[in-house]
Amino acid sequence: METVLEGIPFSVDRARLESALGAPPDAYSSLRTEEMAREAEAAGAPSAVYRISRLARPRADGVDIDGISFDGTLLAENLDGQKTVFPFIATCGTHLEEWAGSFCDMLDRYRADVIANLALESAVDSLKTLIAERHGAGPLAMMNPGSLATWPLDEQRKLFALLGRSAARIGVALTDSLVMRPLKSISGIFFTSSEGFVSCERCSRAACGLRRAPFNGCAAGTGAAATC
């Protein structure tokens, strides 16, 4: 069963926006940032789709979800003992992407990029809240293909095999090179985790606009290569 959320209410978190932009704002830049935030809120809204899925045939190097074989040792570890998971795709939306791509000034383009990231975060957070409330699931954690070496990017194809038709409804497509369009889109699996797994804690990449937690010094490799 799939659920599509179109036009998720989106309000730009001004404090987070200013923080993400970095440099202390002067009067003009503050006014411009506020103007663009209002434009973004009027331009469009993020969307998402998720599916209630059953797990079968757990194994050391992966799991089967609704008849599709997903591979990955960390995925298998995190989903061990689970019966139900929630594959999902979320996006800032095509209208917001078009708005963000309409600027020529480099600083405006940067502001727009940060705002589009915040819209995507808003979609993911709204989706997580809905799943927890509607299905009594929680606390929820998520994994995203390509975020760590132990669950490679090409696993996205399998998520789109599950959700492709609904993804098209919210305007998201997966290219042959595994890039999602709109660019500010994300795919993954929500699952119950009392330990509160966050993949960012195992990723040492510093320059990431979607970081949700600081690197904890543990690197996720492949199998025995994982270190902590």
The domain that holds 24 is classified in CATH as: 3.40.109.40
The candidate with the shortest Cα–Cα distance to 73, out of 22, 125, 148, 139, is 148
Please list, residue by residue across 149-172, b when 16 or more beta carbons sit within 10 angstroms of its beta carbon and e when fewer do: bbbeeebbebbbebbbebbeebbb
Does residue 82 lie within any of the structural domains? yes
- Number of structural domains, the chain? 1
Q: Report whether 96 contacts 46 (CB < 8 A).
A: yes
Segments forming the whole domain that contains residue 95: 2-195
pLDDT of residue 210: 52
Does residue 88 lie within any of the structural domains? yes
Does residue 158 lie within any of the structural domains? yes
Does residue 210 lie within any of the structural domains? no
Which residue positions in the chain have pLDDT lower than 50? Answer: 211, 215, 221-228
Does residue 6 lie within any of the structural domains? yes
pLDDT of residue 197: 64
pLDDT of residue 129: 94
